[in-house]
Amino acid sequence: MPSKYNKLQDARVLIIGGTSGIGFATAEAVVESGAFVVFASSKASSVANAISRIKASYPKATTKIRGYQVDLSEAETLESNLTALFETATGSNTVKLDHVVYTAAGVPDVPSLVDFTATKTKPAFLLHRYDAPILVGKLAPTYLSPGPRSSITLTASSTASKPTPGRPLLTALGSATEGITRGLAVELAPIRVNAVSPGVTDTELLVAIVGSDPTVLADFKQTLKKETLLSSVGAPDDVAEAYLYLMKDGNITGEIIYSDGGRKLKPAI
């Protein structure tokens, strides 16, 4: 039985996109909080590596850690693959989940506004950032324990509140996630639905964006730091705390929690 404040003790948490970056940090935090974690990613090698890393860090919790591969890249199989994941994660719905966290994203191949076409957009990034979160909202309630102690937490983007010049489509996607969050919160109540909106965070995505050259990467981080009130790039373990909070607070739903170093409040230079 969970204590009054250690509300994740023995909870069951599914993290979709939990093998790297913010998702992996959230998986670590969930395990450290005493919960069972099931995480999923598109690559079997990433799942195996993540399992190995978490078990090495938390050897006493090895029986509470599982991971599965799930392919979210094709529209035709998206719903069936997510259904299969939920079925596997719950033993064909014999063991209910308490929380579902969605952090799957990757580096979006976002066209500029002048290059935008409707046919180019769908396969590029809408599946991960629009269709999949909606389908999670459609499917998850069947596998979640009923009531406000259960939750779904999505991942938005700080560009929704403070757009980045030259990337209007990312702003649109971030705003869409916020709308999906509020719409699902109304539709799925009393199951709670919220979102975390991270700013730039020091994860593998930064390397994927600018490359692994240490000098280039350091310069890029310095530029990003200037865009925040805290003059820092977020750490994944700090951002993970926002996901923990949204899982634990049974009185919050339909909200967006920002962990962006004060980026949206930073005056233009």
pLDDT in tens, 215-227: 877 887 887 788 8
Residue 23 lies in a domain: yes
DSSP 8-class letter at 126: I
User: Does residue 108 share a domain with residue 39?
Assistant: yes
User: Does residue 172 share a domain with residue 133?
Assistant: yes
CA 17-20-22 angle, 5° bins: 80
Neighbours of 223 (CB within 10 A): 11
DSSP 8-class letter at 65: E
User: Are 185 and 194 spatial neighbours (Cβ–Cβ below 8 Å)?
Assistant: yes
**What is the pLDDT, as a whole number, of residue 201?**
80
- The amino acid at 38: V
User: What does the mean pLDDT of the chain come to?
Assistant: 88
Residue 164 lies in a domain: yes
**What is the pLDDT, as a whole number, of residue 246?**
98
On the question of pLDDT at 124 being above 70, the answer is no
- CATH number of 77's domain: 3.40.50.720
User: Does residue 177 share a domain with residue 94?
Assistant: yes
Query: Average pLDDT, stretch 171-194?
Result: 93
